[in-house]
Structure 1
Amino acid sequence: MKLSKEVLSKYLRSEFFFNRDLSWLEFNRKVLQEATNPNLPLLDRIKFISIFFSNLDEFYMIRVAGIKEQIRAKVIDTSFDGLTPTEQLKQIENLLQPMLKEIYEYWQNVIIPELRENKIYIYDFNKLSKDEKEILNEYFLKEIYPVLTPLAFDPGRPFPYISNLSISLAVRIKKPNGEKNFARIKVPSNLPRLLQIDKIIRSKGKNGSNLSLKFIWIGDLIKANLQYLFPGLEVIESYKFRITRDTDLEIQEDEADDLLQVIEENIKQRKFGSVVRLEVEKQMPEYMLDILIENLELTRNDVHIIDGKLGLSDLMLLYNLPFPNLKEKPFHPYVDEIFEEENFFSLIQKKDILLYHPYDSFNPVIDFIKKAARDPDVLAIKQTLYRVGQNSPIVKYLIEAAERKKQVAVLVELKARFDEENNIFWARELEKAGVHVVYGLVGLKTHAKMTLVVRKEIDGVKRYVHLSTGNYNTTTAKIYTDVGFFTNDEDICADISEIFNYLTGYSEQKIYRKISVAPINKREKFLELIEREINNHKAKKNGRLIFKLNSLVDPVLIASLYEASKQGVKIDLIVRGVCCLIPQVQGLSENIRVTSIVGRFLEHSRIYYFYNNGKEEIYCSSADIMQRNLDRRVEITFPIEDEDWKNFIKNNLLNTLLKDNQKARVLLPTGKYVFNYPVYNEEIINHQEWMMENINRKNKKAK
């Protein structure tokens, strides 16, 4: 049996695929379910409301922007699921509108009353006391008024530039001669959206309440004081609006002499991307809406009329309030005592080390870089950086290593979406310290996460590597689940050395010892592994695959899974986000079950399990199964060969993920998800809670 083009082509039909963007909306529906989950503490539900809207902003900035660009270009080609760009856009809006209605009603009818019950109040300005209004007006004049810039729009002045995701006020004013004009005021994004009233009152030496918290939206305070911005004029009415722009960078790298400069120029241009969405208050009159639509070059289909406050992604401000009783119990990552007792390099010599963040602390990863930087026997450090984060301790230790005259080479991926500016900053800081900084390959993002340390030892030069499914980012390491893996396996270390040579120099290498590399051989490797499982099942009837990943989109790999299912292989797919595969369809995918977990932590790790006639193989990867990961990014997939760690991944991770009956949802052939509710007498398992309770036993079991 061979997974040939002929075998797979029979599955490459539109009716066998979910639409990618509609599937993403179903993922965000799971976030909405967490936001409205009555079993979650109040501030955690608010956190999920913020995440829902933040996700939606990015969806419009990237995915919807791309669809609208296709429509403008008169593209009529269909996606793999058979929808034209116009059809996709229509279905997106049809699916999204009920979700927006639900979440705004929940915010107003459930969250606001529960905040009040906990003595947290968000007031309308006109409901404040006279004294509170006077103090806030004084605060406005001193702290906010100097920052504001009213921009007029009339025959002598063009329509003002509106920045992406900012809240604005559309204001209609009347001159003494009766002439009416339009103006726009931007709500400053560098001031908090929610102002704490009682804190402001106390700062004025007045007696503010210590028993409750009172907030007001800054936009409402500005609206209540518009007369100061238009002296001598009558403010007739004002309404808030918010726009979303296309922010996807288009980089012609083959024409770029200096990629750093090209990225910087593109970032500057990003803020001028075309407008793809206009959100307005429900009360905004038609004439004012028409002004915005005409001047922002939109249609009515691009407008979201919102019955509530705009930009609720900013609600994360409330989650950060110091009320532990309104949040889930705090979790402190586990740090094994072995990291304190022995030299890091001798530990890796004895045995591979596997960490599963955020249950395992990320500190050992930082310490690995720190000790490599300071160890006099370390000769060189090579590392890839994708999303570093601000105030990165890892970058600081890389700089220290260079200052200690070690050879340090770092690939900084400048094209990491929305992290470009941060990565440019760190690239320059690294270069100042004498680090060899490279920016990746033309036409490819470097998404692989790997560190190579070269060390001089008594018996010669040795190499040590750290490989990961996630970024070298101390912030996300606390909330994303990811595998971190340390080894000095000679074959893996040699492979990683050669991948770095591929990234920094010239290499046409196609064959690696144990690592598979995208775009070189990862697709072929996965097709071979799936084919082997099919052949094993034909002989032994024991075929089994378990894939845990973020997104499953690639049609060819999906087709191979359909063929495996048809041949009888049992397949479990744990897909957090987008899944274009249709499960549980007779004759197509009846042996495929798709589940998805959205919970306290973001399920980010990619793990691929193959039963292989009892000789089980487990691979971890930086890559999802998407065309971009397989064909347009540099990715690595590495094996876990230590039997203890294989058992840990199989039993502690994959099995409890599959048994989860609290946060897991099962994907139906309709594209909808239903909760995997426990059946009678079934053990209650919440995978993430189970991991938090049991992680401190992990290393003891694995020794």
Structure 2
Amino acid sequence: MSLPFINRELSWLEFNQRVLNEGLRSDLPLLERVKFLAITASNLDEFFQVRVGGLMLMRRSGRKTPDPSGMTPLQQIQAIRRRVQKMMEDQYRLLSDELLGQLDAAGIHPHRMRDIDAAQSDQISAHFHANIFPLLTPLSVEADGDPPLVPDLQLTVACKLVDSEDQSIRYALIPIPESLGRRIPITSSSGGHAFVLIEDVVATFAETLFPGEDVSASGCFRVTRNGDIAVQEEDAIDLAGEMEDVLAARKLSDTVRLELETPISRDVARVIQDVCQAGPQVVYRIKGPLGLASFMDLAFLPDFDRLRDKEWPAQPSPSITPGESMFDAISRQDILLHHPYESFEPVLRMIEEAADDPTVLSIKQVLYRTAKQSRVIDALIRAAENGKHVTVLVELKARFDEARNLHRAEELQRAGAQIVYGVKGLKTHAKICLIVRREAGRLRRYVHLGTGNYNESTARLYTDISLMTCRPEYGADASLFFNAVTGRSKLLRFQRLVPAPNAMKPKLLELIASEAERARQGGQARILAKINSLQDPEIIAALYDASNAGVDIQLNVRGICCLKPGGKKRAKNIRVVSIIDRYLEHARMFYFHQGGDPEIFISSADWMGRNLDRRVELMIPIEDKDARRQLLKILETLFKDTRQASLILPDGTSERIEPAKGKKPFRAQDYFYRQARRKAKAREHERAMTLEPHVPSE
């Protein structure tokens, strides 16, 4: 009998709906609602580029094999279109019926060109001719020629042109460079921040680009192209060169979505579809401004703090004495950090101190996604220039970060670092840094292991876990890991760390089966797991089996969940919740009761086939007693949330969890912030009360 599965793509869309639901909440600050709306649009952009793009390739190849939920590629594409259309209706109803009016009332004034006064029109005209016109490059659409290349995800204005003399008709496109920004500020008698959208400005002044012709009709559109193009590593001699070819190919790839502003004339729409080679099945007609992802910058407008959440500044870890060396702190004990409630600064300091410490001999690190202005990369460059042996595995196959990773890898290489471009056939997604230091005539290894990227920007927005340790077994495993990924040896003989793709799934299946066996024997059996996505069929089958055996299974799954929870047979003991809050839930944490001697892990990997079978990942056991208690407390707290948590239902949809009658709502992220602040203040007070004798220098 086949096992019940929820379709992966539809499950992801339900996750995006949970994000959109935050934007629909009238009790949230206005600009937070705008932010959530923009996030859903950005998410949809990538979903079409990658997931829909991949399905369309499957369909074109004639593949009809159903996925684990029983849906063929065509059925999935059709179901996605229906669900996305409903979601987009919700997005634009929220924008038009609520947010735009509330923004205007709050001092943020969106205007259409047709509604502005003469003084504002003169202001916009001057700005257009000085700052916009020189950067526009119109593209002619020739009836018998090749269609012009329309940039991916870029706003473009299509124009119907009528010659002033002979009344002949032709069509042209005006791509709008992203560097121009989306909003054009204008002065307003009511004060505040007034603006018009750039596509409205370009359409209004389009005739200035076509002397001797009149613009009789125009319309804005946006094309999404297939981003599911991968480097053919089997034939790649120069991986960096091959990756540049992939980036170029994406610009020319097939259209997977065409967004058309409405109203738009039928003939202009037809020309746009012809240019983009877009059939009716990929066309979405939009009643409002296109590209809502660019509205994200509205959420961060200066001088409107009253319309945003109050700041939750990251707190210092109580495990680290201010001013002390990170190596001294780690030598004293394992350090577990819960980001962003606890600052990411210790991780950055560890790498920066290593770059300048004369006793540090080498630094080895995996970089997957980094910040635009990365302190990590700056420190690694400085370390190489200081003569340290620096080895960096830069994952070029980190989708949509390939260009940045290529550029930064070249910088590191010029500084003298040894660069490895990932592992053939696999993405390297592990989060690990190994520092080797000479202490008292011996070599000592310091290791950072985490669930998130070495990215100080996202470390302020994503919840993640960091472990910093100098335990010899972890250091030895870290050396084995880097030897394997740089020297193409096998991921074998690890003492503590559990690597994918060879060992992590077998270990997880063994742990789940062990809990099931204990339950069958009448013992207490419990699994707690926090992951971003759950899709792997073998893991899901094992969880169903454990549930049947009586194991209490609680899963916190932010996004995709292909397991059907709550069924009377297979999943009667499985509860799945999802938390959407101000921080993106990103940490992966696993707890297995193991007869009262629990095994607790953090991991870079989700329970997805791609993570467990096709990526280099790490699962890290937590052995320090304080760290284990802290991690279990975090896990248990997440399952108590009755403010931001939703219960995943058997059909893949979700419903918000409400507090019990008479109980106040409990918000896990708020609790974590308050606890981090309380611990930091308590430690600060403790240090202030400690009397340190002043010892005279010799």
Structure 2 length normalisation: TM-score? 0.95
Matched with 2:609 is 627
The correspondence for 1:21, drawn from 1, 5, 9, is 9
Q: Closer, same or farther in 2 for the Cα pair 1:409/1:297, shift >3 Å?
A: same
8 Å Cα contact 1:413-1:446 kept in structure 2: yes
Distance in 2, Cα, partners of 1:282 & 1:14: 45
Map 1:544-583; keep pairs closer than 5 Å.
Answer: 544-583=526-565
Distance in 1, Cα, partners of 2:217 & 2:635: 58
Question: Offset of 1:407 from its aligned partner?
Answer: 1.1
| Residue-by-residue CA offset, 1:469-515 (whole Å, 9 max, x unaligned) | 00000100000000010011111111111000001114234331111
Distance in 2, Cα, partners of 1:157 & 1:220: 29
Distance in 2, Cα, partners of 1:436 & 1:98: 50
Distance in 2, Cα, partners of 1:702 & 1:676: 35
3-state SS, counterpart of residue 179 of structure 2: coil
| Residue-by-residue CA offset, 1:204-229 (whole Å, 9 max, x unaligned) | xxxx6583211101111111112211
Give yes or no for the alignment of 1:531 onto 2:520: no
3-state SS, counterpart of residue 412 of structure 2: helix
Matched with 1:201 is none
The correspondence for 1:273, drawn from 223, 247, 253, is 253
Map 1:359-438; keep pairs closer than 5 Å.
Answer: 359-438=341-420
Query: What letter is aligned with 2:19?
Result: V
Matched with 2:126 is 138
Give yes or no for the alignment of 1:674 onto 2:655: yes
Distance in 1, Cα, partners of 2:455 & 2:143: 50
Between stretches 691-700 and 317-326, larger displacement belongs to: 691-700
Distance in 1, Cα, partners of 2:608 & 2:681: 36
8 Å Cα contact 1:648-1:702 kept in structure 2: no
Matched with 2:571 is 589
Question: Offset of 1:266 from its aligned partner?
Answer: 1.2
Distance in 2, Cα, partners of 1:163 & 1:619: 44
Map 1:346-357; keep pairs closer than 5 Å.
Answer: 346-357=328-339
Distance in 2, Cα, partners of 1:481 & 1:336: 15
The correspondence for 1:149, drawn from 119, 132, 137, is 137
Question: Offset of 1:553 from its aligned partner?
Answer: 0.4
Map 1:94-113; keep pairs closer than 5 Å.
Answer: 94-113=82-101
3-state SS, counterpart of residue 95 of structure 1: helix
| Residue-by-residue CA offset, 1:113-160 (whole Å, 9 max, x unaligned) | 101111211111111111111221121111111111222223364321
Question: Offset of 1:15 from its aligned partner?
Answer: 5.6
Matched with 2:422 is 440
Distance in 2, Cα, partners of 1:341 & 1:128: 56
Q: Percent identity?
A: 40
Distance in 1, Cα, partners of 2:203 & 2:271: 20
Map 1:144-293; keep pairs closer than 5 Å.
Answer: 144-155=132-143, 157-175=145-163, 176-198=165-187, 209=189, 211-293=191-273
3-state SS, counterpart of residue 149 of structure 1: coil
Matched with 1:8 is none
3-state SS, counterpart of residue 170 of structure 1: strand
Distance in 2, Cα, partners of 1:212 & 1:78: 54
The correspondence for 1:314, drawn from 285, 291, 294, is 294
Map 1:644-659; keep pairs closer than 5 Å.
Answer: 644-651=626-633, 653-659=634-640
Matched with 1:342 is 324
Distance in 2, Cα, partners of 1:313 & 1:503: 37
Question: Offset of 1:287 from its aligned partner?
Answer: 2.5
Give yes or no for the alignment of 1:325 onto 2:325: no
8 Å Cα contact 1:49-1:103 kept in structure 2: yes
Question: Offset of 1:294 from its aligned partner?
Answer: 2.9
In the alignment, structure 2 segments of 5+ residues that lack a partner are 685-698
3-state SS, counterpart of residue 180 of structure 2: coil
Map 1:27-66; keep pairs closer than 5 Å.
Answer: 27-66=15-54
Give yes or no for the alignment of 1:466 onto 2:455: no
8 Å Cα contact 1:537-1:543 kept in structure 2: yes
Distance in 1, Cα, partners of 2:606 & 2:428: 14
Query: What letter is aligned with 1:76?
Result: K
8 Å Cα contact 1:282-1:305 kept in structure 2: yes
Question: Offset of 1:668 from its aligned partner?
Answer: 0.8
3-state SS, counterpart of residue 507 of structure 1: coil
Question: Offset of 1:629 from its aligned partner?
Answer: 0.5
Distance in 1, Cα, partners of 2:18 & 2:531: 16
Structure 1 length normalisation: TM-score? 0.95
Question: Offset of 1:698 from its aligned partner?
Answer: 4.7
Question: Offset of 1:433 from its aligned partner?
Answer: 1.0
8 Å Cα contact 1:197-1:216 kept in structure 2: yes
Between stretches 56-65 and 682-691, larger displacement belongs to: 682-691
In the alignment, structure 1 segments of 5+ residues that lack a partner are 1-12, 199-207
Question: Offset of 1:438 from its aligned partner?
Answer: 0.7
8 Å Cα contact 1:645-1:702 kept in structure 2: no
8 Å Cα contact 2:452-2:587 kept in structure 1: yes
8 Å Cα contact 1:648-1:698 kept in structure 2: no
Distance in 2, Cα, partners of 1:234 & 1:210: 35
8 Å Cα contact 1:389-1:422 kept in structure 2: no
Q: Closer, same or farther in 2 for the Cα pair 1:501/1:630, shift >3 Å?
A: same
Distance in 1, Cα, partners of 2:225 & 2:501: 31
Aligned residues: CA RMSD: 1.6
Distance in 1, Cα, partners of 2:655 & 2:4: 20
Matched with 1:70 is 58
Distance in 2, Cα, partners of 1:294 & 1:557: 45
Question: Offset of 1:295 from its aligned partner?
Answer: 3.3
3-state SS, counterpart of residue 553 of structure 2: strand
Distance in 2, Cα, partners of 1:406 & 1:131: 62
8 Å Cα contact 2:317-2:337 kept in structure 1: no
Query: What letter is aligned with 1:36?
Result: L
Matched with 1:522 is 504
8 Å Cα contact 1:549-1:624 kept in structure 2: yes
8 Å Cα contact 1:576-1:597 kept in structure 2: yes
Query: What letter is aligned with 2:587?
Result: S
Give yes or no for the alignment of 1:690 onto 2:666: no
Distance in 2, Cα, partners of 1:587 & 1:553: 20
Matched residue count: 681
| Residue-by-residue CA offset, 1:374-404 (whole Å, 9 max, x unaligned) | 1111111111100012111111111111112
